[in-house]
Amino acid sequence: MGRRPEPSLPIGAIVLAAGAATRFGSPKQRLLLPHVLRRLEAAGLTEVVVVQGAHPVEAPGARIVTAADWELGPGASLRAGLRALPAETEAAVVALADGPALAPEAVRRLLEAWRSGAAPVVAASYGGERSHPLVLARSAWGSIPNEGLRSIPVALVACDDLGSPGDVDTPADLGPLGLAGDED
């Protein structure tokens, strides 16, 4: 088990798993979500909310909420997840269900940067490119547009040495992640 986040700062996690997965051809969330949940647990996060939408999912150890308006975009799904976190939650780690190679150390590194006051929103970067996961302070929760967090300013935290969390859009994307044999 990884280090736990500081108890004085309640931290939650949101896993966005609401999309239709049309390019994949089947509900990829069902295949990839267990990998993401294990990695969040290894990072020490215990308050995890999984947001479903187009397809129902199973998420042992996590709370599942449904974003009825998931078709509006990832921001709508994120807002549904944030509403489900306890009122005392100070920040949320945001991860994607289609990023099964998420490094627990990336989560810890982002939380450390956020705690040090880097910015209300910090995001992992790989090769200088903004990516996931992100840490979103409660003060930024009210400004999430439907298209998601891409338009919100962030402080980047280099995670090049940890490897990208992956981005599974098609079954062919599973091979490089070592998941090709895991398809439904």
- CB distance 30 to 64 below 8 Å: no
CATH class of 11-178: alpha beta
132 to 60, 87, 120: CA distances (angstroms) = 22, 24, 15
Q: What angle do CA 8, 14, 17 make, to 5 degrees?
A: 170
Residue 122 tokens read as 């910090």
Backbone angles phi, psi at 56, to 5 degrees: -70, 150
pLDDT tens for 126-168 read 999 999 999 999 999 988 888 788 888 999 999 999 999 988 9
For residue 181, pLDDT over 90 is answered with no
pLDDT tens for 53-70 read 999 999 989 999 999 999
Rounded to an integer, the average pLDDT of 83-88 is 95
